[in-house]
Amino acid sequence: MRARVACLPKGLIIAVLLFSFGYVALQTVLASERRLLAIKSELAIAREIQASILPSVVPETSRLRVAAAYHPMTAVAGDFYDFVPVDKNRVGFLIADVSGHGVPAALIASMIKVAMQSVEPCARDPQAVLHGFNRALSRQLRGQLVFCRLSVARYRRWPSAVFFSRASSASLLA
């Protein structure tokens, strides 16, 4: 006995094939769009978190006017700054620039914020702050090659003086 195979018109076969390809392509595009929206949402949250670790106020001094603005090139970045009150006559400044852009650099910048808390007792001595950062970050990064320029300054109100130290090639005014 022979089985009979129904013959479909060639036009219908081509139409079903094209519809199938179109359906698969549409599903692929929709899945990509969903992933892109999820990534954009996560980056927006990361941007808010990064903004929250930056100082919300600048130090007020009678002899020095301080202003700060943060405008990253990408959603998140490896730039960071902080102010550290030392005592009523002195305030410390930290400016950091992690090499690279985006999420990896932003993660290192957040590590700098955490490390800053561990070196605050050294805030009177900018060089000691940099040594503390080096110890803290090199332990955490476990041999990963990361370039970070750090500038640390301490301003003394009276008599007026600025004490400055830097690691790498950063200038005081970045």
Q: What is the per-residue pLDDT across 41-85, written as a single tens digit (0 to 9) for each?
A: 999 999 999 999 999 999 988 788 899 999 988 899 999 999 998
Across the range 144-152, mean pLDDT stands at 85
Beta-sheet strand order (sheet of 148-156): 79-87, 90-98, 148-156, 161-167
What's the pLDDT at 173?
42
- The pLDDT assigned to 38 comes to 97
- Rounded to whole angstroms, the Cα distance separating 138 from 13 reads 64
The set of long-range contacts for 34-42, using a CB threshold of 8 Å and a minimum separation of 24, is none
- The rounded percent of the chain whose pLDDT value lies above 90 is 45
| pLDDT tens per residue across span 3-45 | 666 677 888 889 999 999 999 999 999 999 999 999 999 999 9
CA distance 92 to 84: 5
Q: In a 3-state reduction of DSSP, which class is residue 117?
A: helix
Question: Chain-wide mean pLDDT for the chain?
Answer: 87
Q: Are strands 90-98 and 161-167 parallel, antiparallel or unpaired?
A: unpaired
Q: What is the Cα–Cα distance from 13 to 78, expressed in whole angstroms?
A: 56
